[in-house]
Amino acid sequence: MSKVVRFINLASSAVPWGSRERAAEFTKLLVNVTAEEVEAAAAAEEAEAEVSPADRKKDPAWCFAPVGVLSHLERDTINGAQIKAFAAEAEAR
């Protein structure tokens, strides 16, 4: 869906679409989403598991994976913790 929205936004810069035309196209896209797709997305979301300590031990890259946050305070806190963890991991080697 995000690829389609990006395409619509990209196309709108070349085609003089107004907000009504763009809304109409987006509504057509939403109508075409089937119930099976919605159920599959919900099942996939429920199936996601936390990264366990065993996963982190097997692949240390999980400890330093990118994280999306909403504020700079969260970002700075997580970055600080990851820097300390990365330094400790480097010293242990």
pLDDT digits (tens, 9 = 90+) for 39-72: 777 776 776 667 788 887 888 777 777 778 888 8
Q: For residue 5, what pLDDT is reported?
A: 67
pLDDT in tens, 7-20: 666 665 666 666 77
Helix (H, G, I), strand (E, B) or coil at 71: coil
pTM of the model: 0.40
Phi-psi region of 67 (alpha: psi -120 to 50; beta: other; left: phi over 0): beta
Residue 13 has a pLDDT of: 61
